[in-house]
């Protein structure tokens, strides 16, 4: 493991694409690489960060009650649902990236971090990879439920739908754990101090997810 404050050489774009997948199985080296907050390193990882942000936003909007009722309006066909998912998901992903990044940054600063707001956002983005990955469930849901997935009270309203909701919660919890590991690794903090910083950032999306499931 690389010690805090150790300089790292600039990383190429290809290495950061590989790290985007690697964070799921070996997160510590990935988060340790985020200690390099130089403009060159940030530029190299900007594309993976953007992709994760957009996909995470799309995963979120598809879990909401709004998505579950889209095709109750007969003007919405499959094409319009796809467009809505992309546009609304992109908006929510970008807003969440900056807002939750600011909350995380505030918690980190309150506990003594000297890191930048930009680095806090990047830690958050790489921790959100499991949320982006949860989109792999979408083809399975469509195969099982078809158009009912976007209709109120369809076949996805029973036990199978609940099971997928639980799986969505598992992906969210996975991201929270990665965020905890990321904060601890980047700052070389204790688990307790890291958990205190993560708590505020994790509370808001968790509350929003529960709210989305309640409607």
pLDDT value of residue 5:
46
3-state secondary structure of 215: coil
pLDDT value of residue 4:
47
- pTM for the whole structure: 0.84
How far apart (Å, rounded) are the C-alpha atoms in residues 104 and 186? 13
Cβ-contact 93, 116 below 8 angstroms: no
With bands split at pLDDT 50, 70 and 90, how would you rate the model's confidence at 9? very low
pLDDT value of residue 156:
53
Return the minimum-mean-pLDDT range out of 44-48, 72-76, 157-161: 157-161
Q: Which residues of 145-165 are buried (b: 16+ CB within 10 A; e: fewer)?
A: beebbbbeebebeeeebeebe
Higher pLDDT, 71 or 12: 12
Mean pLDDT of the chain: 85
What percentage of the chain carries pLDDT values higher than 90? 58
Work out the average pLDDT over 104-131. Answer: 94
130-161 pLDDT per residue, tens: 999 999 988 888 887 766 677 676 655 555 66
With bands split at pLDDT 50, 70 and 90, how would you rate the model's confidence at 72? confident
- Name the helix (H) or strand (E) containing 6: none
153-172 pLDDT per residue, tens: 665 555 566 788 888 889 99
pLDDT value of residue 132:
97
What percentage of the chain carries pLDDT values higher than 70? 81
The pLDDT of residue 204 is above 60: yes
């Amino acid at each position: 493991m690389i010690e805090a404050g150790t300089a790292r050489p600039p990383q190429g774009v290809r290495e950061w694409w590989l790290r985007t997948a690697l964070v799921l199985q070996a997160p510590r080296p990935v988060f340790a690489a985020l200690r390099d907050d130089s403009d060159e390193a940030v530029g190299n990882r900007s594309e993976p960060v953007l992709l994760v942000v957009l996909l995470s936003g799309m995963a979120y909007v598809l879990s909401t009650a709004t998505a579950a009722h889209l095709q109750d309006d007969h003007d919405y066909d499959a094409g319009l649902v796809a467009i809505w998912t992309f546009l609304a998901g992109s908006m929510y992903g970008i807003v969440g990236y900056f807002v939750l990044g600011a909350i995380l940054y505030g918690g980190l600063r309150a506990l003594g971090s000297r890191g930048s707001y930009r680095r806090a956002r990047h830690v958050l983005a790489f921790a959100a990879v499991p949320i982006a990955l949860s989109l792999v469930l979408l083809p399975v849901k469509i195969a099982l439920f078809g158009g009912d997935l976007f209709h109120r009270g369809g076949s996805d309203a029973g036990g199978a739908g609940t099971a997928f909701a639980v799986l969505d919660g598992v992906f969210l919890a996975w991201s929270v754990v990665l965020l905890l590991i990321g904060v601890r690794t980047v700052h070389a903090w204790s688990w307790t101090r890291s958990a205190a910083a993560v708590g505020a950032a994790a509370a808001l999306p968790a509350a929003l997810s529960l709210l989305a499931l309640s409607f």
